[in-house]
Structure 1
Amino acid sequence: MATSKRFPDARAALADLVTDGQTLAVGGFGLCGIPEALIAALRDSGAKDLTVISNNAGVDGFGLGQLLETRQIRKMISSYVGENKEFERQYLGGELELEFNPQGTLAERLRAGGAGIPAFFTRTGYGTVVAEGKETRQFEDGHWYVLETALKADLALVKAWKADEAGNLVFRKTARNFNPACAMAGKVCVAEVEEVVATGQLDPDHVHLPGIYVDRLVLNPTPEKRIEQRTVRQETR
């Protein structure tokens, strides 16, 4: 008999998954669509020497910025430092390893990792520092291309709007940019969602990520959703 993918909270979902030295793919675009509860549980786990693949590292004290403050991240693979002063300080001070990627290249490296494609050629970055140390090749179209390798993670942490009990996910707006690719690139994926419905209640045409990629679910409703759920429970008593 199949077991449920739902866990009571983020800490329980990560308890037997997180270890020192892992590579994690963490979804989110800016501060949109980040798995807040899972990031907090990761911080509380005390795991260190982590390599984190994510578009950015949140801001100071929020999102992945919390893990920078606790020095749990050894290396970031990302496309944007942004307003995170601690990220900038650690990198310029030689305390944090950083692998910069053009944003589209980062997304495609994750997608390739999930699709089983070991590497691909792209024109992006040719003739710049991005191409240093990488294979380049000229194709029949006359342009030069850079070989980029796929990204895979030991663990993926993602945030979705809605899920069913089978783990099928629906994302909202820009949360869809990196979360699906991160989920597919992880050997194990834990999804934090705002709502869980019964299997069969999601229109298949509305599913953005099939449940085959999702191993565990954690319910973390927004404050508005909590109020709505309490109201529904009271009205049905």
Structure 2
Amino acid sequence: MQKIFDNADSALSGLLFDGMTIAAGGFGLCGIPENLIAAIRKAGTKDLTFASNNAGVDGFGLGVLLESRQVKKMISSYVGENAEFMRQYLSGELELEFCPQGTLAERMRAGGAGIPGFYTQTGVGTVIAEGKEHKDFDGKTYILERGIVADLSIVKAWKADTTGNLVFRKTARNFNPPAASCGKICVAEVEEIVPVGSLDPDHIHLPGIYVHRLIQGQHEKRIEQRTVRKREAV
């Protein structure tokens, strides 16, 4: 199968439709599929549900899709650093499903593994547990969480070979592997594509069987919060 496409627009061709659910990798601005996000904005697809740890920042990452009003609902664990996100949510323009960070990662992983649901103690006794099935195991209460199966996954990796095997760079791995696995179709953008056999099999983080389409892109790698020490007097 030919997986390599020339650009993000062509890689998403035929995959986008209004009202779809998209799982997006990334944590803050680290390891986000920025080229694919830009292509979704350009396509104008609307009423989107995104399963993503957060929604980028104002003007970057998933924040650009909030600004263009293409997102109907977010399934997220952290919603700080984005004033437009807060404004839309508080004004009732944006639906929000809060999900604890570990639970969100496991919901994606479970969906990718064909597991429809699992029980966890995380969220018991809080608003997270409202409306969910409760069950006791060994004298402790757990709640049922459903696995996430998205119509599309968009992820960002460091390297790929031509069959779609992916290698992530340190903390940029974050939510990308579980997000990639839970989509019916996965499109990945990478910094470098290498020939088959160039990657050490033991260093591959995500097998190419999960990746359907692939692009090589340019990435800004913006720093979300730049913190430096004051220069010391010499």
Classify the TM-score, shorter chain. over 0.9
1:221 deviation in Å?
3.9
Among residues 173, 176, 179, which one is paired with 1:179 in the alignment? Answer: 176
Does residue 89 of structure 1 match 2:90? no
Does residue 201 of structure 1 match 2:198? yes
1:223 deviation in Å?
7.5
CA distance in 2, matches of 1:153, 1:223: 27
Task: Give the TM-score, by structure 2 length.
Answer: 0.93
Would you say the 8 A contact 2:107–2:148 is kept in 1? yes
2:157 partner SS: strand
Would you say the 8 A contact 2:34–2:219 is kept in 1? no
1:74 partner SS: strand
CA distance in 2, matches of 1:129, 1:223: 37
- Structure 1 consecutive aligned stretches of length 4 or more whose deviation exceeds 6 Å: none
Would you say the 8 A contact 1:77–1:101 is kept in 2? yes
Comparing both structures, which one devotes a greater share of its residues to helix?
A: 1
Would you say the 8 A contact 1:34–1:159 is kept in 2? yes
Map 1:59-78; keep pairs closer than 5 Å. 59-78=57-76
Among residues 190, 210, 215, which one is paired with 2:212 in the alignment? Answer: 215
Query: Which residues of structure 1 form unaligned runs of 5+?
Result: 225-237
After superposition, give the CA deviation of every residue in 1:182-217 in whole Å (9 maximum; x if it has no partner): 100000000000000001110000000000000000
- The alignment's C-alpha RMSD in Å is 1.1
Among residues 2, 7, 10, which one is paired with 1:9 in the alignment? Answer: 7
CA distance in 2, matches of 1:154, 1:42: 14
Among residues 53, 56, 67, which one is paired with 1:55 in the alignment? Answer: 53
Would you say the 8 A contact 1:195–1:221 is kept in 2? no
Among residues 122, 125, 142, which one is paired with 1:124 in the alignment? Answer: 122
Task: Give the TM-score, by structure 1 length.
Answer: 0.91
Percent identical residues: 69
